[in-house]
Amino acid sequence: MIRLLSIVVFVCLSFAVVKAQDSLQIHLQGIQERTDQAAAIRNNLYKSPALRPFQYKQSMTPVDISYISENKERYNYQLGSGDKGIKIATDSYMKDAFPNMTLWGNAKYENVKVQNLKFNETSDFELVFPYVIADSVGGNLNMETYQFSGGIAKEYGDWVFAGEAGYKANLSHRKIDPRPNNNSSDIYANLGLGYSITSNSVLSVNFGARSYKQRNTLAFVAEIGRPSIYHFNGLASYNALLSGSSESSGANLYAVNGFNAKFSLAPKNQNGLFAEAAIVQNTGERTLPLSSASANNWTDQIISGKLGYFNEIADLRYGALATIDLQTRKGSEGLFNNDGANTGGYTKISEISSYRYYNFNYNLEAYFGKKDWSIKPYANYSQLKEQYINPFREQVADIVKVGVQGQYLFELNEGLFGISLNLQKQKVIDKKSTFNISQGIALADLLNHNYAYLTSEPFQIAAEARYDFVLSKQIKPFVKAHAQTSTEIKQKYYSLSLGLMF
């Protein structure tokens, strides 16, 4: 696989050298803004509503349909061995659609099969973990996702007033036992205010809120061979009073509410100093069918900071960005008393704070190059620590990822051809685990398997080729192929996208 990718990239690079030009035609500059990896670093910094007017120079509306196929031999059981399916997405950006007004919108539909999930029958794992409903059988999960969002930013002199709102729905199910049926909705809104403190610097503040809900049921048709259902509380610990039955008597309800605040200093023309401090905090609650009282509560907080500098001298572009993300999730679990004869159900009598998850990420990336090529070296250091109180369980991993990504863009038959190659090595510099669980049982296998995956040291190589061509001034189709492979975890990912740029 690596050899094949290398050959493809080598051939493309050789071809590109022959065809390389110093500058791009004007009608391709909007495309380049959205495909250039150096531009992408900067564009991602301008996603706050009040900074949106400065995100792109060109208006554009890409629409694409993609087929993705992902297969992993070693993987996190609770996330599955890979997704297969289609994605249809559009991401519109209209600069000065009206005088001094920027509009943007996004719509996405995904229909994928999440393969070989185990010990997780709940959707949106990243948002609700570790409080998932689990069984040892699992299977493939059919997942549909709908997502819509839109926003507007209006400039009044030195001021920018902006707002956006979005909605995402996830419908997941399986048609064989065990049969989860999960419906989730996520609605959010952000407001932003920007002020130009110099001719090229804008100071912005953005606030947002979200409301998420999930209804999760698990049913069986077969009368025999049903696995036990566990309500996980962290690192495969579970509430023994509420778990163990193979009958799910109702819906598990999740509710997450959160806010975010972001303060940014950004150059309007994307050249100069960028600084940002942000906080995102979500509080979650899980309610199980046996009691109206919450079974779990958690708070997830991400404090992040960004500091970057970008510049262009003549046709040389360079820049660097340092980011830090400190994620802390603290969860508590309810303790219940089954005094059914007197109260008719499970009464919550206490709760203990029993779960901690820390994921601290330090990222440094830089780029340099010209209009048609760039090199992006990057390094990431992540510290992950996950603990459960009693029986004490812990997994700790300090991981370094070092990589370099190169990209070449060139004009080809009035179109823009881009290729990129990304090489990355992951190295575990410290790790430890304490699971305090009897070996040989499925839950021990889950913990040991996920820990082995977490602390693996794959070498990853990814390559992408994209060709945007021009049918008319308004319609610019493109085709994109992406392939990625990793050693050790034996992970393969392919995607093919067809799209139009309006």
Partner 1 sequence: MKNQSLLNWLYFGLMLFSLSSCMKDEFLESRSNVLIKVDNSKLVGEYTIENVTVQMQEINTQVITSSSLGTGKDTVKANLTYGTYTASLEGDITLKVNGNDKKMKIKARKSNLVVNSETTNISLETFLSDPSANFVFKEIFFTGTMTPEGKQYNGDKYFLIHNNSSDTLYADGLFFAQSDFLTITKRDYSPDIMKDAVTSDGIFMLPGTGKQYPIAPGGDFVIANNAINHKEANPNSIDLSNANFEIELIGTINIDNPQVPNAINISGNMLMHNQGYTAYVMGRLPEGMSPEKFKSDNAYTYSYVAANGRTMNFDSYKVPNNYIIDAVNLSVKTGFEWLVTAPTLDMGWSYAGLVKADKERYGKAVTRKPLGTLVDGKQFLQDTNNSTVDFNPATTPSIK
Q: Which residues bind partner 1 (CB under 8 A)?
A: 237, 239-242, 326, 328, 330, 333-339, 349-350, 352-354, 356, 358, 360, 362, 381, 383, 385, 387, 389-391, 398, 400, 429-430
Q: C-beta of 343: minimal distance to partner 1 in Å?
A: 12
Sign of the C-alpha dihedral, residues 73, 75, 81, 86? negative
- Determine the length of the chain: 502
Q: Minimum Å distance from CB 306 to partner 1?
A: 16
* Residue 384 CB, nearest approach to partner 1 (Å): 10
Nearest distance from C-beta of residue 347 to partner 1, angstroms = 9
Q: Which is nearer to partner 1, 8 or 389 (CB)?
A: 389
459: which strand partners? 425
Which helix (H) or strand (E) segment is 239 a member of? none
Backbone angles phi, psi at 340, to 5 degrees: -55, -35
Contact residues for 199 (Cβ-Cβ < 8 A; gap 6+): 268
Determine the Cα–Cα distance for residues 209 and 159; give it in Å rounded to an integer: 22
Q: Give which of 373, 394, 368 is closest to 451, Cα–Cα.
A: 394
End-to-end CA distance of the chain: 35
CB 386 within 8 A of CB 234: yes
For residue 26, give the DSSP letter: H
- Residue 272 or 305 having the CB closest to partner 1: 305
Nearer to partner 1, 200 or 327 (CB): 327
Task: Identify which of residues 73 and 339 has a Cβ nearer to partner 1 in the complex.
Answer: 339
Nearer Cβ to partner 1 (250/391): 391
Q: Which is nearer to partner 1, 111 or 383 (CB)?
A: 383
Q: Which is nearer to partner 1, 177 or 394 (CB)?
A: 394
What are 429's two structure tokens? 């510099």
Distance from C-alpha of 424 to C-alpha of 480, rounded to nearest angstrom = 21
Whole-number Å distance between alpha carbons of 328 and 357: 6
145: left (phi over 0), alpha (psi -120 to 50) or beta: beta
Least distance CB 224 / partner 1 (angstroms) = 20
Beta carbons of 132 and 125 less than 8 angstroms apart: yes
Q: Which is nearer to partner 1, 91 or 398 (CB)?
A: 398
* C-beta closer to partner 1: residue 246 or 380: 380
Name the residue nearer to partner 1 (CB basis): 29 or 436.
436
DSSP state of 46: G
Q: In whole angstroms, how close is the CB of 402 to partner 1 at the nearest point?
A: 9
Shortest distance (Å) from residue 398 CB to partner 1 = 7
Residue 190 CB, nearest approach to partner 1 (Å): 27
Q: Which CB sits closer to partner 1, 48 or 361?
A: 361
Q: Are 51 and 269 in contact (CB under 8 A)?
A: no
Minimum CB–partner distance for residue 444 and partner 1 (Å): 15
Residue 288 DSSP one-character state: -
Running DSSP on this structure, what letter comes out for residue 44? G
Closest approach, Cβ 182 to partner 1, in A, equals 25
Residue 34: closest CA among 90, 87, 100, 107: 90
Q: What is the DSSP track for 49-89?
A: GGGGGGT-SS-B-EEEEEEEEEEESS--TTT-S-EEEEEEE
Residue type, 490: K
User: Per the omega criterion (within 30 degrees of 0), is the bond before 227 cis?
Assistant: no
CB of 446 to partner 1, least distance (A): 17
| DSSP H or E run through 311 | strand 294-313
